Amino acid sequence: MEFLDKLRRAFFWPGTKLTEKLNIDPDSEFGLLRSLFNTLIWTAVGLAIVFIVIF
């Protein structure tokens, strides 16, 4: 279970850092902004990987 907790923290890390940088408590906003940031970041990373593999 420790591995899953580390995996979860790694997945949420970008959104957590961005909300902290904007002086917003990541837990107080119910994860909405953090989820938005994570979606944007991981989508960009995924698209970059797909383009690298295809081209």
The pLDDT confidence band at residue 54, using thresholds 50, 70 and 90, is very high
* CA-based nearest residue to 36, from 26, 51, 49: 26
How much is the pTM?
Answer: 0.73
| Cα diameter, the chain | 42
| Contact partners, residue 18, CB within 8 Å, separation at least 6 | 33, 34, 37
Mean pLDDT value of segment 34-39: 89
Read off the pLDDT of residues 8-36 as tens digits, 9 standing for 90 and up. Answer: 888 889 888 888 888 888 777 777 888 88
| In the chain, where the domains are located | 2-54
